[in-house]
Amino acid sequence: MEKTDNLKKKRSSQKSRQPDNLRQYSKYSGMAFQMIAAILFGLWIGAKIDDALDNEKHVFTALTTLVFLLATLFLIIRSLTKS
């Protein structure tokens, strides 16, 4: 009898953890997509600026990508420390 009670408790605790695991997974995957989108947006803006100014070395592409990467990292770290 005790074994079946313990088994039922174990199963119910595993079921209650599943939505929490899914919530964490969606949170972190959302952060990854946010970071990818920000980096690509910075890359696109930098390329447009370099094209407009006729830069051969793509300085603005590198700078805006780096700025967007750092800004996204800052926001992600800030949101992780709040939680």
Q: Where are the domains of the chain?
A: 22-82
Over residues 9-21, the pLDDT tens digits come to 665 555 556 678 8
Contacts 24+ apart (CB under 8 A), 69-76: 69/35, 69/38, 69/39, 69/42, 71/38, 72/34, 72/35, 72/38, 72/39, 73/35, 76/31, 76/34, 76/35
Question: How far does CA 36 lie from the centroid of its chain?
Answer: 8
Mean pLDDT score, 54-59: 92
Token pair 């929490």 is found at 20
- Checking if the pLDDT of 28 tops 80, the result is yes
Is the whole-model pTM more than 0.75? no
